[in-house]
Structure 1
């Protein structure tokens, strides 16, 4: 049996169970991860995150090859125990966990490199909490039809990758957004080969205020279900809305999710356009588990 010291944290209601395993000695099974994330019989969370030194994890070798400053690797798992490539809210909470536990330091204006299965991600502190560069994005996944319970007609979606797969669907009103029953998995036609997070979006009125785009979003996360927030999903939703809005649409967005508000910004780099996510990251409590 293993005694696990854990911390519970969240980013705009997207909640995680985090634990430190710098040497990579704690190897939990998918069933154990799902048991920890269970909201009735476990701690409860949308995901489980292990903080491990990149040098002590096979996936960390790729991160170190990309950036030898990526000392820490965010070993992220969905609530059902499946592996996920990236989590925008999770990486901010992961950073808060490292700093508050004295495992890493980040002075204002400095950048920290963090290894993930989607590649190395750079993170900075800002006035809202933390900002993370999610890297290059791309249109990926086509335009599948999306069926969701309580939405009577299938809607076209737009496939977008920000290191993990998303399909974004535009809805006409807040009533439609609220009526969708996301306790059921939305059906994609054709299906995504590895599944996808599905975001349902309604533009605010006006869409742009003081040069900032504004949208509201709900999401069904692959391997989890509906969550109060999804960081990479917010980025995908803002990117899709800008794509639909056409030339002249802003590169800075405010995305309202059930758990709060996050910021999204698109900006040019040498290797193409990147997208960043900013928002709060909170640690709620600590405890121990016997696994």
Structure 2
């Protein structure tokens, strides 16, 4: 059935999304429709599509409500190729901005807004740069696969990290190496990761730490979307990997430079183990209506 989809285009450090409100869960887009929306030549163009749906109307949202009854809204996130994703660190900040601008929620300084995701409930707060989201517990996961990328001469060892979705982080030796990698091609991992993985390529700053804050530069190939200007969970994974490699004495606060801007990452102790938080801007760009067959 043809529909006219009222949407909003949003972005966080260049990671862009098409968002729409479907409180009652009545709009069920197919993967091919999502891919068409995200197509940069024939659609709106985006790294992903986000549906704002009340948690009670989707199975994953009902699961979130069992853990956190106040998680009224569920971020139904889909990659540009139409595949579902567990989490999106930039997307959840833009999603929060969308909810606020459409008077679907309120959020005061110091308060937390729980959001349901496929990775579980995530808490969002206002911050000086926009919003900060607690990505929850992280873990080393996925081993140290070899990673090959086009224009990098030799395979490099990566480090598998899970921050609600899977990542492999690769350290490079220079900004020139980082710039030379052609991430329009999917990096090849040995062994292959079933279901795909986000791959981050990182160069530490020199000096690595200034005034207690670590600094790195990063590029990313996101599964289902290709190279993007930014990846929020990828920035968190990259900072965690760099701290792991740096060893004892490495800081818990990081500045991550991505092609689309700067993100903040902070690790902190919680009752259930160490959490990682991501902070950065979130903007709504324009509204529109798209006719979908």
Q: Give the TM interval when normalised to the shorter protein.
A: over 0.9
Give 1:136's aligned residue: 137
Give 1:69's aligned residue: 70
Alignment of 1:53-92 (within 5 A): 53-92=54-93
Alignment of 1:223 with 2:236, yes or no, is no
1:201-221 CA-partner distances (Å, limit 9, x unpaired) = 000010000000000000000
Task: Tell me the CA shift for residue 156 of structure 1.
Answer: 0.1
CA distance in 1, matches of 2:19, 2:135: 21
Q: What secondary structure is seen at the aligned counterpart in 2 of 1:134?
A: strand
Alignment of 1:33 with 2:34, yes or no, is yes
Q: TM-score, normalised by structure 2?
A: 0.99
CA distance in 2, matches of 1:16, 1:251: 29
Give 2:122's aligned residue: 121
Give 2:264's aligned residue: 263
Alignment of 1:280 with 2:281, yes or no, is yes
Task: Tell me the CA shift for residue 58 of structure 1.
Answer: 1.1
CA distance in 2, matches of 1:231, 1:207: 20
Alignment of 1:91-170 (within 5 A): 91-170=92-171
CA distance in 1, matches of 2:179, 2:75: 33
CA distance in 2, matches of 1:23, 1:200: 40
CA distance in 1, matches of 2:133, 2:95: 11
Aligned residues: 291
CA distance in 1, matches of 2:290, 2:16: 18
Alignment of 1:4 with 2:9, yes or no, is no
1:54-110 CA-partner distances (Å, limit 9, x unpaired) = 001111111001100100000000000000000000000000000011111001111
Q: TM-score, normalised by structure 1?
A: 1.00
Give 2:194's aligned residue: 193
CA distance in 2, matches of 1:173, 1:268: 32
CA distance in 2, matches of 1:194, 1:206: 37
Q: What secondary structure is seen at the aligned counterpart in 2 of 1:248?
A: coil
1:148-175 CA-partner distances (Å, limit 9, x unpaired) = 0000100000000000000000000000
Task: Tell me the CA shift for residue 21 of structure 1.
Answer: 0.1
CA distance in 1, matches of 2:111, 2:251: 27
CA distance in 1, matches of 2:206, 2:117: 36
CA distance in 2, matches of 1:66, 1:251: 28
Give 2:290's aligned residue: 289
Alignment of 1:164-179 (within 5 A): 164-179=165-180
Task: Tell me the CA shift for residue 281 of structure 1.
Answer: 0.1
Alpha-carbon RMSD across the aligned residues, in angstroms, is 0.4
CA distance in 2, matches of 1:208, 1:62: 41
Structure 2 gap ranges (5+): none
CA distance in 2, matches of 1:192, 1:265: 27
Task: Tell me the CA shift for residue 279 of structure 1.
Answer: 0.2
